[in-house]
Structure 1
């Protein structure tokens, strides 16, 4: 788990499968009780790091596409 704000950050789990569930790229694993769980693949080290995040080297917690999406939402909220 690599997501910086997730309570399981830094924990390692045995990889079971990677699949598209609910229209999202997800990773399946068994938790400590043996239950099958899934998380967005982007929250794990299964996905290559975003080049912007790597280049920012911790200086920005946001990705460009997320900031652009936020800007679009804000524009649409204007009266």
Structure 2
């Protein structure tokens, strides 16, 4: 089943043809409704179990990223360091 909420085939089920590591990621291959071979990242399907932390967290967080950056800058100010904290986001998030 396609589980990625923004994929046009979301919530649709297909028979798995093969599961392979291609394009630097695990992908599932299936025949679409027109019979064409298609593939999506395995993480966009129900073949990969949901990460337990993500499931339990359910999108909740104790801290917002802006608040953490402000805290980082405050700590640096207290230490007398003039650096500004920066954050590098991972595309997997």
Would the TM-score normalized by the shorter structure come out above 0.5?
A: yes
Distance 1:45 1:32 in 2: 18
Matched, 1:14 2:15: yes
Q: CA deviation digits over 1:7-45, x for unaligned, max 9?
A: 211101111111011111000000011110000000001
Residues 1-79 of structure 1 mapped to structure 2, 5 A cutoff: 1-59=2-60, 71-73=87-89
Q: What's the C-alpha RMSD, in Å, of the aligned pairs?
A: 1.6
- Provide runs of 4+ in structure 1 moved above 3 Å: none
What is the TM-score of this pair, normalised by structure 2?
Answer: 0.61
**Alignment gaps of 5+ in structure 1:** 61-70, 74-79
Q: Which has the higher contact order (CA 8 A, sep 6+)?
A: 1
Instruction: Give how far 1:52 is off.
Output: 2.2
Provide the secondary structure at the position in 2 that maps to 1:72. coil
Quick check: which has more Rg, 1 or 2?
2
Distance 1:4 1:58 in 2: 14
How many residues in Structure 1 have an aligned counterpart in Structure 2?
63
